[in-house]
Structure 1
Amino acid sequence: MNHDKVIKLLKKHRSYKFAVNNGVAPFVEEEVGMPFSSNYGSRPPRLPGMRGTIDSSLEDFRMYSRIVRQVEGALNEVLDDQERDVIRMKYLERNKLTLERIAERNHMHKNTVTAIHKRALDNLSTALMFVDVPEIIELDNVVINL
């Protein structure tokens, strides 16, 4: 896996995790979406123009769950503390930071943070080599029924 694919996985990680935790999946009115969600049944999403089935919902749930587990496993098992912190601040936090800002915050030279970032991406590229970047459904037009 190249750095671009790893970066896509990291940038979408919060969306995948949200989808798994909140039951967001293609929905059919007669059926439920993503049945393993903790919110199952209480607020199934409706996506205008999209139709899904229980099978496609289960497939999405399994795929997103697998991606979340693999990314989090790689972050925790493959990266050292500095690498994980740089990746977390750059890609995973709600308020993402640039490498320059990460360097300032940690009282480090930008070149040092850049080297840590590159090393982390190299390690993640190896660890996530066989992981594909799944598309996540577009959430801009989701209507949730309460």
Structure 2
Amino acid sequence: MDNNQVTELLKKYRSYQYAVKNCGPVEDNIRLPKIYSERMVGDKNIWDRARYNRIVTLITGAVNEVLSDDQQIVIKRKYLDRNPMALYEIANALHKDKSTVSRWHAEALEQLAIALQPLSEEEMEIHNLDFMFQQPA
């Protein structure tokens, strides 16, 4: 996995997290809303919630356990926070030089690329569901 793939994964993190939180468990006695039952793959007991959960777990674990405190702050503020910040904004907020924050960012991406290597491109794909909300012709 390269740094560009890590960046894209981090940008989509909140979407993955939202999907995991709002799916609910897939059990025989629970009827899922149409939006989620349509997302089931193959066998009706295998839903891609497991895939999203794996992504969220791997990203959260990698950020919290692999990165230094400074690197965590940069990654969380740039990608994972609700209102992401640019590197120069993070530098200003931390009262650090922009080059220092930029170095922390680059180092963090390199470390995350190693830690997130088990994720394949297929697992990272979120499919657009707009077609499910279109009115029939």
Structure 2 residue ranges without an equivalent (≥5): none
What is the aligned partner in structure 2 of residue 137 from structure 1?
A: 127
The answer on whether the counterparts of 1:74 and 1:127 sit within 8 Å (CA) in structure 2 is yes
Structure 1 residue ranges without an equivalent (≥5): 25-33
Tell me the TM-score normalized by structure 1.
0.75
The answer on whether the counterparts of 2:62 and 2:116 sit within 8 Å (CA) in structure 1 is yes
CA–CA separation in structure 1 for the residues paired with 2:131 and 2:91: 37
The 5 Å alignment of 1:59-74 reads 59-74=47-62
The answer on whether the counterparts of 1:90 and 1:99 sit within 8 Å (CA) in structure 2 is yes
Distance 1:42 1:57, change over 3 A: closer
What is the aligned partner in structure 2 of residue 21 from structure 1?
A: 21
What is the aligned partner in structure 1 of residue 26 from structure 2?
A: 35
The 5 Å alignment of 1:1-146 reads 1-23=1-23, 35=26, 41=31, 43-45=33-35, 52=40, 55=43, 58-133=46-121, 134-140=124-130
Give identity over the alignment, percent. 39
Task: Report how many aligned residue pairs link the two structures.
Answer: 129
Tell me the TM-score normalized by structure 2.
0.80
Q: 1:119, CA displacement in angstroms?
A: 0.7
Q: 1:130, CA displacement in angstroms?
A: 2.2
Distance 1:95 1:131, change over 3 A: same
Q: 1:21, CA displacement in angstroms?
A: 1.0
Q: Which has the higher helix share?
A: 2
Aligned-partner residue type, residue 89 of structure 1? R
